[in-house]
Structure 1
Amino acid sequence: FISIILNYNNILHHSVLYFFLNLTGSREALLLVASRNQIVSDDILAQPNIIQSLVRDGRNIVAVDFDSVTERIYWSDTTQDRIWSAHKNGTDRTIFDSGVTVTESLAVDWVGRNLYWTDYILETIEVAKLDGSHRTVLISENVTNPRGLVVDPRNNTHLMFWTDWGRNPRIERASMDGKLRTTIISNKLYWPNGLTIDYPNNLLYFADAYLDFIDYCDYDGKNRKQVLQHPHAITIFEDFVYWTDRYVNRVIRANKWHGQNQTVMLYNLPQPMGLVALHPARQPAGYNPCDPRSSPCTHICLLSAIGPRFYSCACPSGWTLAADQFTCARVEDPFLVVVRDSIIYGIPLNPNDKSNDAMVPVAGLLNGYDVDFDDAEQMIYWGEIHRVKSDGTNRTEFAPAAILGSPVGLALDWMSQNLYYSNPASQSIEVSKTSGLIPCIIVSQVPRPRAIMLDPCRGYMYWTDWGTNAKIERATLGGNFRTEIVNTSLVWPNGLTLDYEDQRLYWADASLQKIERCSLTGTNREVIVSTAIYPFAMTVYDQHIYWTDWNTRSIYRANKHDGSDQRVMLQNLPSRPMDIHVLSNSKQQQCSSPCEQAVGIWPTTNTVSLTMAHAVSRASLLA
């Protein structure tokens, strides 16, 4: 083999070297194909081919990659909103991350031991360790529709490449720590989709799903040549390029240099999507400057193309890198929590900062109308009702939907650890302990309850009612002394928020297209914003109010006193923004609650008892 290698040019040299590796390694070469609800494995070196299904219970499996070090495969399911991992034979399956949305591409860094992926809904490229920990957003600016993604973590390379279907279709390159970002191809592209790397020859192959071609180029985007047509996803092994064709439900291969000698490898696969060739030669060994035995990074270490270290330390979302460039510290700055579509994520309060990695995103929402948080426990609550740690861990169902019905408004009493919610199905306001015990109705005969807000230190709750006679009401936290505080000039009172410091109640009316405020008893009513189009949810923090608009699919900020200095936080979102909250420990002030003042701390019970409710009423009278 050595004489043959030396007698051929550079291209054939590497082709024969691959063959040499196959013989000496005597290991199988698997072609893994994501085909909607399954992952199919095809041993392309066996005669005849050995085909089997590794995963059979997926919903919409789109992307797949592998780690030759641990012999594990990774895949994304865009219906389940999850990234999974399993041994290459399909056993030992684990959830890598359940907080992703539309992940159409992922790439294993087999040297640095990280996993990279794209997120279409969040418009980001993210990375985490291979065990799913320390997830962080790597690139979020000017990312509109990320698709294909590949990495080259070999010695002194440490590069990543991705495609973007957005307004300006392109292929970009960056160091694997997100630095040195540049566009390498921006012409003759429409829907750049699949990406794969020919590692021995340092060539990037890419597919365009609209223009129907496979081209290749060098790492700078130069020396571009076309190989063949009609691809979706692609991979390289030895002298062949393999691709999926969704329209004829096949996996096909051809010569990687000129596109000839086409052969159908797999027939009758239901809409085959991503695929990858699994073989040790596809992931050459390299020096790992991120070796945990020597890396000084406290959280996540990323390979870098920048010397002399050739690595960078990074921090999970919600954390920041300290001045020493090695350690991470939690960011204590307040940020805006946004509920949109099936996802919850965080953005900075600075309108000029368009990043969206203030917190680890929460995906897979089914009823994401409202959200609230517990700063002391670092828990986020939403929907029907679920909760999760702000770092994305410990996600649990708070109470079964069969018990709670369909909550819309949601509010946490952070002092007593009770969760209040409005329930249109039962036309009531209900409450339950955060331990997930059986709830009880504390306010009934509310025709169309919507938003709800609590004032634990004063012992009151407030809610809006969309009924025939729209109104805003107040009662004690036990549901007593119910009072209509605003019952005129209202149609669709949507958003509701409390300014604890100034003791003002704000609300948005989607029909009247304005935002108003009043005192906590309903007096001194005044219009703050009269130019809102379809305001839905709102919150207040410091000197500003923030609100979502369903018509413009945007989020706005304005001065809380007179509505001046309006700024756009986010605009033209892909879907309607639902609820928003400012997550800040200063919003959940600690105080001696009226309940504690009157009767002491409530005992733990299996329900929120009426005795407890009356205690709050009595405490409210004393406050």
Structure 2
Amino acid sequence: MIPDMWSMKARMNNQMLVVVCKDLLALISRITNKFPKVGSGDYSYDPEGCIMTYKHWKEQSDIIIVVNHYDPPGIYISNISSSDRTPLRFTVAMEDVELTVPLELGYDVTTSTLYWSDYTKNTIERYSFDTNQHEVFLSKKINQVNGLAVDGPGKKLYWTNAASIFQNRNQNRIEVINLDGTDRKILIDTGLSVPSAIEIDTTNGYLYWTDVVLDKIERVKLNDLSTRTALVTTGLNFPSGLVLAVPHGKMYWCDWNNKVIEEANLDGSNRRTILTGHVTYDIDIYRNYLYWTGVKGVYRVDRKTGKSSKQSSDSRLNDPKGLYIFKK
């Protein structure tokens, strides 16, 4: 017997909210092993059994945002749960925004604004989910931006700027700017080769970054740049991703060439390998899990047990790079 079902469409802030009865969704998924297309694109199944747009996910659940570098270029969004029974179901994060080769992500939780770098346009761009406004935030003296870190409460954006092999290596920099576009500054422009992932510890006032050619993880006190310290200098081979778990006093990184995910204290001590044998590019933390982008998908590993699994088989994630997880 077909279950009771209903649907409702309403236009809110120029977006179409599509709500589909969870019984219908569950029925179709059992028959086809897929979630249906609704409206103008794929929508994701939220914990309450409805498929919704970004604004409504944000109100009800945690979300994950992933960049696909090219073929096709895209930025995708899904709700996220620690349950094994809730796989990631991605939809396009932004309609009518032209992307060429997006690479890295940053997110301002205070204004629901997504930042990303574009590899070929040499830009940092942003999109407000609250107002549906897109703009090129920075385009001057931008090279390859391998990492973005947004301090929403402090209203600042930090990024790593790497020169190409055809450019002056002095263009390797770590920079900061206010989120209103004022007071752009170079924080560090020496002792860098290809600065990559970047993370900010707002609690203790530190900025962390990796260098994928010098194979280092370093940090500096933002109010005293003379405190620059190399935390991890051995056993690295292209440390492309980094995430901090400040309340637990830990940092995690993924190493592209070594195919590992590792853990250490925030000062670099007590280093431990969590996962081996997987190509990893970027990494973020969610509850007891580390999520990473790898070969044609998004994966996760339990930080304590090392048990890993693939979380998405979306064919659009042909070359996933940056990811960000928003936790309510």
TM-score normalised according to structure 1 size: 0.41
Does residue 390 (structure 1) correspond to residue 129 (structure 2)? The answer is: yes
Q: 2:80 aligns with which of 349, 355, 365?
A: 349
Secondary structure of 2:144's partner?
coil
Does residue 471 (structure 1) correspond to residue 216 (structure 2)? The answer is: yes
**1:317–1:360: 8 Å Cα contact kept in structure 2?**
no
Structure 1 equivalent of residue 311 of structure 2 = 569
Q: 2:323 aligns with which of 580, 586, 595?
A: 580
Would the alpha carbon gap of residues 441 and 509 (structure 1) be closer, same or farther in structure 2, given more than 3 Å must change? same
Unaligned runs of 5+ in 1: 1-113, 115-126, 140-167, 179-312, 321-329, 586-623
* Residues in 2 aligned to 1:177 and 1:412: alpha-carbon distance in whole angstroms: 31
* Residues in 2 aligned to 1:577 and 1:176: alpha-carbon distance in whole angstroms: 25
Would the alpha carbon gap of residues 315 and 335 (structure 1) be closer, same or farther in structure 2, given more than 3 Å must change? closer
Q: 2:180 aligns with which of 427, 432, 435?
A: 435
Unaligned runs of 5+ in 2: 1-7, 21-31, 42-49, 118-122, 164-170
Structure 1 equivalent of residue 141 of structure 2 = 403
The offset of 1:405, in angstroms, is: 3.4
Structure 2 equivalent of residue 621 of structure 1 = none
Structure 2 equivalent of residue 335 of structure 1 = 63
Aligned partner of 1:407: which letter? V
Structure 2 equivalent of residue 80 of structure 1 = none
Would the alpha carbon gap of residues 138 and 420 (structure 1) be closer, same or farther in structure 2, given more than 3 Å must change? same
Q: 2:286 aligns with which of 524, 541, 551?
A: 541
Would the alpha carbon gap of residues 489 and 362 (structure 1) be closer, same or farther in structure 2, given more than 3 Å must change? farther
Give a deviation string over 1:305-346, Cα, whole Å, max 9, x none: xxxxxxxx99644317xxxxxxxxx62311111111332221
Aligned length: 278
Would the alpha carbon gap of residues 332 and 449 (structure 1) be closer, same or farther in structure 2, given more than 3 Å must change? same
Does residue 134 (structure 1) correspond to residue 11 (structure 2)? The answer is: no
The offset of 1:391, in angstroms, is: 4.5
Q: 1:379 aligns with which of 90, 95, 113?
A: 113
Structure 2 equivalent of residue 48 of structure 1 = none
The offset of 1:434, in angstroms, is: 0.8
Give a deviation string over 1:139-189, Cα, whole Å, max 9, x none: 9xxxxxxxxxxxxxxxxxxxxxxxxxxxx9xxxx999899xxxxxxxxxxx
Alignment of 1:208-287 (within 5 A): none
Q: Of Structure 1 and Structure 2, which has the larger fraction of its residues in strand?
A: 2
Would the alpha carbon gap of residues 133 and 491 (structure 1) be closer, same or farther in structure 2, given more than 3 Å must change? same
Secondary structure of 1:331's partner?
helix
**2:18–2:51: 8 Å Cα contact kept in structure 1?**
no
Q: 1:414 aligns with which of 152, 155, 165?
A: 152
TM-score normalised according to structure 2 size: 0.76
Secondary structure of 2:133's partner?
coil
* Residues in 2 aligned to 1:472 and 1:174: alpha-carbon distance in whole angstroms: 43
Would the alpha carbon gap of residues 343 and 359 (structure 1) be closer, same or farther in structure 2, given more than 3 Å must change? closer
Which structure: larger Rg? 1
* Residues in 2 aligned to 1:414 and 1:364: alpha-carbon distance in whole angstroms: 25
* Residues in 2 aligned to 1:554 and 1:548: alpha-carbon distance in whole angstroms: 6
* Residues in 1 aligned to 2:264 and 2:288: alpha-carbon distance in whole angstroms: 16
Give a deviation string over 1:556-591, Cα, whole Å, max 9, x none: 011122322x22111363420111111124xxxxxx
**2:145–2:196: 8 Å Cα contact kept in structure 1?**
no
Structure 1 equivalent of residue 257 of structure 2 = 511
Secondary structure of 2:140's partner?
helix
Would the alpha carbon gap of residues 392 and 555 (structure 1) be closer, same or farther in structure 2, given more than 3 Å must change? farther
**1:472–1:485: 8 Å Cα contact kept in structure 2?**
yes
Q: CA RMSD in A?
A: 3.1
Secondary structure of 2:132's partner?
coil
**1:138–1:177: 8 Å Cα contact kept in structure 2?**
no
* Residues in 2 aligned to 1:573 and 1:391: alpha-carbon distance in whole angstroms: 28
Secondary structure of 2:177's partner?
strand
The offset of 1:136, in angstroms, is: 4.3
- Give the % identical residues: 26
Secondary structure of 1:318's partner?
helix
Aligned partner of 1:430: which letter? E
Structure 1 equivalent of residue 29 of structure 2 = none
